[in-house]
Amino acid sequence: MVSQLASSPESLSAAATFARPLRRIPAALLSRRVNGSFAISRGAKIESDATLIICGPGFDEMTVRVLLSGAFYLVFKQDIEITPSQN
């Protein structure tokens, strides 16, 4: 359920896991509706030079939730690689 996927950037721990896209990748933007529920908007693209913060599971075992520039996205695990900590 999408409502279980969303959290705030402030809730991320200091021990965040970082990743980068293997190429320009498709993504689904998670956005909050006026009534508080969440919507998934398809069609977003994340550039290959982006630094992503992995912040939770996706909607199935093939996806993960990431944070980029203050927005949450769902991306396929196969499209990203884990990178060393940014600390």
**Residue pair 49/83 in contact by the 8 Å Cβ criterion:** no
Question: SS3 for 5?
Answer: helix
Mean pLDDT of the chain: 84
pLDDT exceeds 70 at position 5: no
Torsion of CA 55, 45, 37, 10, to 10 degrees: 30
**Residue 18 to residue 21: CA distance in whole angstroms:** 10
| DSSP-derived pairing of the beta strands 25-32 and 71-76 | antiparallel
- What's the pLDDT band for 32 if we cut at 50, 70, 90? confident
- 1.10.3470, 2.60.40, 2.60.120, 2.30.30: CATH of 18-83: 2.30.30
Give the domain ranges of the chain: 18-83
Per-residue model confidence (pLDDT) at position 54: 94
* Better-predicted residue by pLDDT, 6 or 30: 30
| Tens digits of residue pLDDT in 43-82 | 999 999 999 999 989 889 999 999 999 999 999 999 999 9
Q: Which residue has the tokens 């950037």?
A: 9
Looking at the DSSP assignment, which residues form a beta bridge with residue 76?
63
